[in-house]
Amino acid sequence: MRVLVAHASPHGSTASIARRIGARIGRGGAVADVRAAEGVGPLVGYDAVVIGSAIHGGAWLPAAAALAARCAIELPGRPLWLFSVSSVGDTSSVFGPRITQRMRRLRREPKQVTAWRAALPVVGHRNFAGVVQPTDWGRVGDLFIRLLRGRYGDHRDWADVDAWADGIAAAAHAGAADAAMVSAPPVNR
């Protein structure tokens, strides 16, 4: 079982989460290749794909989006897991509890992800908070964070990343078992 874990990560936190996901999938017995989305070669040979993108302006980055589009053509039917890394994850956040709760309620899934759900076998999409530094996001981001009293720093929730990755590892393992049963010769009785 080979799983591609690809990332688009200008400042490195999406890449670090991808590496962690790859390590957990590897512990589950599958082979995980962790790569930058723009450097991924032919997809043939992968049984499942995980793609993560940093969120800029509420959207996925072009390299990650382009890779998801390639999956539809090069790996039709293969399961796909997606994750987005931004200031507000599903379990941790740059902002305090009240603002975070409101932002989660108002947040829409990146529109690319919604579109892929119709075209690709997307099994899951998870939001993780990343590392947000004052120099990364520019003046608009800085204003946004200050106005909403956010805290710069490392907001990755490794327990959440591990739990999500373990779910993928279990599904990949089950998929491999199913494939082995389909390809096994019939038993003569």
Residues engaged in binding ligand FMN (CB under 6 A): 9-14, 54-58, 85-88, 130-132, 136-138, 141
Q: Minimum CB separation from ligand FMN for residue 177, in Å?
A: 34
CB 172 within 8 A of CB 30: yes
Q: Minimum CB separation from ligand FMN for residue 187, in Å?
A: 49
Among the listed residues 150, 156, 107, 154, the one whose alpha carbon sits nearest the alpha carbon of residue 128: 156
Q: Phi and psi dihedrals of 8, rounded to 5?
A: -120, 115
Q: Minimum CB separation from ligand FMN for residue 137, in Å?
A: 4
Q: How many residues does the chain have?
A: 189
Q: Minimum CB separation from ligand FMN for residue 150, in Å?
A: 10
Nearer to ligand FMN (CB atom), residue 154 or residue 178: 154
Nearer to ligand FMN (CB atom), residue 11 or residue 19: 11
Nearer to ligand FMN (CB atom), residue 107 or residue 173: 107
Among the listed residues 85, 84, 81, 83, the one whose alpha carbon sits nearest the alpha carbon of residue 120: 81
Residue showing the smallest CB distance to ligand FMN in the complex:
130
Dihedral of CA 46/48/52/58: which sign? positive
Nearer to ligand FMN (CB atom), residue 69 or residue 148: 148
Among the listed residues 48, 4, 83, the one whose alpha carbon sits nearest the alpha carbon of residue 178: 48
